[in-house]
Amino acid sequence: MKVYLETYGCQMNEYDSELIRSILTSQNYELVQAKDSADVVLLNTCAIRENAHQKIYHRLDELKGQKRRGEIQVVGVLGCMAQNLRKDLPQAAPIVDLVAGPDSYKRLPHLIEAALDRDTVGFDFSLSEFETYSDIAPERVPGVNAWIAIMRGCDNFCTFCVVPYTRGRERSRSPESIVNEANSIVAQGFKQITLLGQNVNSYAHDGSDFADLMEHVAKVPGLPRVRFTSPHPKDFPRKLLHLISEYPNLCNHIHLPLQAGNDAVLERMNRTYTKKEFLDLVDEIRTIIPDVSLTTDVICGFCGESDDDFADTVEVMERVEFDSAFIFKYSERKNTIASRKYPDDVPDEVKTERVMQLNALQRGISRKRNQAEVGKTLEVLIETKSKKNDKEWLGRSDQNKGVVFSAAQKKPGDFAKVLITEASTNTLRGKLVNEAIHLPIVVNGH
């Protein structure tokens, strides 16, 4: 059977798709790149925002004709949306033959076979207290960065978030299994590893915490760069900050989700930190890692957010000066605490106005912080061709800033010293150091 797998959403979904490919190929399924040649189409989905749901429903509508003509035998919806909307999907999308949550991927071969043998929809929504997939070697597409999920699930229960209900409770992999996977990744030629978790700093396994794990991974031979995402401000390990400042391969970039800058809103979100505690943490981070790059997530228009509440978020954004920010309108998710407890009472036009205001503010801050890089020489890891000019490369600095430059003899996975000559809101531009620096010509000792 030929399977076409589509992935939507976050880095954890990308990693899960690598696990799914490995599970299916071990059972003699063929993963194909051309969707028109597939017998089975699987959609690995996200449930974080409403537009993620709408994207999947639109895709299922597109598949109706192929299914009706018999070009596709099985259509499956996997992942977080499948788990969250398990009761609604069969009625909303009758062409779906199987629905499986994030802890059910090992049963996919069975579910596909069952879908072929009968007319009813196959389900598997069991959430495990133990499943980490640490016994599955992900089937990765060759590239520069490789993901490692160090844990699954979440115990934070932020009121706006579906993750505890779609991915279950927190459970961490052993440090040994993670280090073994990291060694395998290096042997495959990857230059960067990103450790994943809904809240990585909650990692805990037999006395080892996240800082301990980061130190183990930093010591993997031949590993040039290590990143992680996402931590939670409430329990950020200070030891980790000192490790980042000490180990050159631990990147000087921290994604620190703010979500809101007002204490009352943070309390309704169950974020368990205050505006002052967040700002104190930022000050501590920048004291220990002076050249750190900070990025964040912000939700505009959460339940009950007044103009004064929003002004606190603006104040935090102005004070912290994040290098970049992902800014979203609040989107009520089914089955969350907020959907049961708080009315979604901020008008959509107000949410939109606040998003626009924060985006305008952040664009100015990002431009300012990027312009401060002009004149510096940065070590850049090349990732891919530039979207605008295929004669130029796009890479990333240690601080996770995109850098565009020309280098005829370079390729993805190579490192380059780049002198930054220009900066925009989203991108740095530069020249290879050996092309940009011209030494004076010496004639007869002068």
User: What digits encode the pLDDT tens for the residues 130-150?
Assistant: 999 999 999 999 999 999 999
Fold that domain 142-251 belongs to in CATH? Transcription Regulator spoIIAA (3.30.750)
Instruction: Note the pLDDT tens digit of each residue in 231-242.
Output: 999 989 999 999
- 3-state SS string over 39-102? CEEEEEECCCCHHHHHHHHHHHHHHHHHHHCCCCCEEEEEEHHHHHCCCCHHHHCCCCCEEECC
Percent of the chain with pLDDT over 90: 81
Instruction: Note the pLDDT tens digit of each residue in 297-329.
Output: 999 999 999 999 999 999 999 999 999 999 999
Distance CA 216, CA 207 (A): 14
For the residues 372-392, what does the mean pLDDT come to? Answer: 95
Percent of the chain with pLDDT over 70: 97
Distance CA 299, CA 38 (A): 39
CATH architecture of 285-372: 2-Layer Sandwich (3.30)
- Long-range contacts: 350-358, Cβ < 8 Å, 24+? 350/301, 351/300, 351/301, 354/300, 354/301, 354/310, 355/300, 355/301, 355/327, 355/328, 355/329, 357/314, 358/298, 358/300, 358/313, 358/314, 358/317, 358/325, 358/327
- Burial-class residue 437 by CB neighbours within 10 Å (0-12, 13-18, 19+): exposed
Q: Does domain 377-436 have CATH number 2.40.50.140?
A: yes
pTM of the model: 0.92
Q: If DSSP codes are grouped into helix, strand and coil, which group holds residue 225?
A: strand
Fold that domain 2-124 belongs to in CATH? Rossmann fold (3.40.50)
Q: If DSSP codes are grouped into helix, strand and coil, which group holds residue 189?
A: coil
The domain segmentation of the chain, as residue ranges, is 2-124, 142-251, 285-372, 377-436
- The closest of 259, 359, 264 to 305, measured between CA atoms, is 264
Q: Check: CB of residue 402 under 8 Å from CB of residue 388.
A: no
Which residues does 144 contact at the CB level (< 8 Å), separation at least 6?
190, 191, 192, 381, 382, 383, 412, 413
pLDDT at 120: 63
pLDDT at 121: 66
Do the first three CATH levels of 142-251 and 285-372 match, i.e. the same topology?
Answer: yes
pLDDT of 435 > 60? The answer is no
pLDDT at 340: 96
- The closest of 46, 55, 43 to 6, measured between CA atoms, is 43
pLDDT at 427: 96
